Amino acid sequence: MRRPAPQTLDDIRHPGPKAQDRLPYAPCHATKIACQVSAGEPFLNSLGRWADSTGFSSAVLDLSGVQLAAFDYVMPDRAVDDRHAAWYSDTHSSKGTELEEAVAILGWRDGAWFAHIHAYWRENNTWHLGHLLPDTLTIAASANISGYGLVGARFEASLDRETEFTLFRVKSDGDAMSGKTANALITTLAPFTDLHEGITELGNQLPGAVYSVHGLGSLAGAHFEDGPPMTGLISEILLKNGAGKPQNGKLSLPLRTVDLNKGLFQGHATPGKCPTLVTNELLLVAQD
């Protein structure tokens, strides 16, 4: 039995003590990469072997255009207990598809490689946005994946006391940079932190004023500068290519979202109108 959907932000109550740091982040060095994945290979095995061979501690990857064999996924939904503010839907299955847009955060969980993936794809004449279950993913056709490999910081899953979800958290390892300078940072926004305002503040920690933004997460409703608002307060999102702050410009955050009713929305995030629901896992990279 699922709890009623929240109608206002005041209805969203996370069970644990509020974390003191609402914008936790760790500086790191990000390197543009191209990673090859082979047809017929489990997705996590392929990415983990690549990361081990390159020495990266985490990566943020663009999976757009990757073809997957049959896989499972979930979507945002109401809580199934009286503790969590939200939960996942029942598991759905895809017969396989080419991903139109997708972001993967590669990190660690229980001492092994793990990936958090949000993807947008078309299947049976219907567009979907979901949270892919990484252990069910198999590459259907060999492909090159682009993104950023990270050293000096990593995403590592642990229990978050505030939300009582096991989430990627930011872990710093400055000694691993081996003389490299920090040109990026990773962050995990706390609940109710505004996506646009949080990124704006974190961007001030980067060298220079120009940077790109990559990642995924969840919002408690969203308003867009160029589209209708998402009024549902349980959602999942992915940032589209082109998110960031250009030279002499303002921060632009094009994103896609899906709410608990399977409604799909997209547009550029309005500052102050996109509060985080559980977290947003992000990479900000300074651009030369």
Domains and CATH numbers, the chain: 9-13+20-286 (3.30.1330.80)
Statement: residue 138 has pLDDT above 80: yes
Tell me the CA distances in angstroms from 197 to 54, 134, 204, 206, one per residue in order: 34, 31, 11, 15
Statement: residue 97 has pLDDT above 90: yes
Q: Residue 179 — very low, low, confident or very high, per pLDDT cuts 50/70/90?
A: confident
Which residues are registered as beta bridge partners of 190?
none
Q: What is the pLDDT of residue 102?
A: 98
- What digits encode the pLDDT tens for the residues 256-279? 999 999 999 999 999 999 999 999
Statement: residue 288 has pLDDT above 80: no
- What digits encode the pLDDT tens for the residues 146-158? 999 999 999 999 9
Q: What share of the chain is helix, strand, coil (3-state, %, to 5)?
A: 10, 50, 40
How confident is the model over 193-217, as a mean pLDDT? 97
- CB 60, CB 214: distance < 8 Å: yes
Q: Residue 173 — very low, low, confident or very high, per pLDDT cuts 50/70/90?
A: confident
Tell me the CA distances in angstroms from 243 to 82, 132, 193, 206, 267, one per residue in order: 36, 22, 18, 16, 11
- What digits encode the pLDDT tens for the residues 230-246? 999 999 999 999 999 99
Looking at every residue in the chain, the average pLDDT score rounds to 96
